[in-house]
Amino acid sequence: MASYRPNVAAILRHPTSRDVLIAERSDFPGFWQFPQGGVDKGEDLIAALRREVREETGIPPESYSLVACRTNYRYKFPGKLKKKWKWQGQEQTWFLCDFHGEKEEVTLEEADHEFRDVRWIEPADFEPGWVPSFKRDVYARVFRDFFAIRWKDEPER
């Protein structure tokens, strides 16, 4: 039976413009994602969310508030990543958060350098090709569930 690593992901949304924060991976230029990361042993989901957002973007927990949460998003790692990890994939819990700070507050210099760039975009402007193929189904569900956006190539469910 496949084992999945517990994972949290954060959609940071500016409450006025409704733009969301996306970040370009340092190790895979051209691939963009929301901040996300594994849940450490003994850590609850909220603590993991706060830690990951701060590590990856420099944004402190007091700069955003939780709006919604959804779970049961899973993806499997491709072969080369399965060998790197002891898990077959990740099981994610997604959090929609309203960001109350200034957009300039995002500081990759203080972060863990997982990302090389960030952008604030309208959710409808996110391109499916910005996500590695093994994560695309999850991202399609996330955009449908949180923004009522259906990607062109997404099958009807």
Q: What confidence score (pLDDT) does residue 154 get?
A: 58
How many CA atoms, within 13 angstroms, populate the side-chain half-sphere of residue 22? 20
Q: What confidence score (pLDDT) does residue 49 get?
A: 98
**Residue with more model confidence, 153 or 122:** 122
pTM for the whole thing? 0.90
Q: What confidence score (pLDDT) does residue 23 get?
A: 94
Pairing of strands 89-99, 4-13: parallel
The predicted model gives 69-90 an average pLDDT of 82
pLDDT tens digits, one per residue of 1-18: 568 999 999 999 999 999
Q: What fold is seen in the domain 4-147? A: Nucleoside Triphosphate Pyrophosphohydrolase (3.90.79)
pLDDT tens digits, one per residue of 82-129: 556 678 899 999 999 999 988 778 887 765 678 999 999 999 999 999
Q: What confidence score (pLDDT) does residue 86 get?
A: 78
| Contact between residue 48 and residue 38 where contact means Cβ atoms under 8 Å apart | yes
How many CA atoms, within 13 angstroms, populate the side-chain half-sphere of residue 77? 16
Q: What confidence score (pLDDT) does residue 109 get?
A: 73
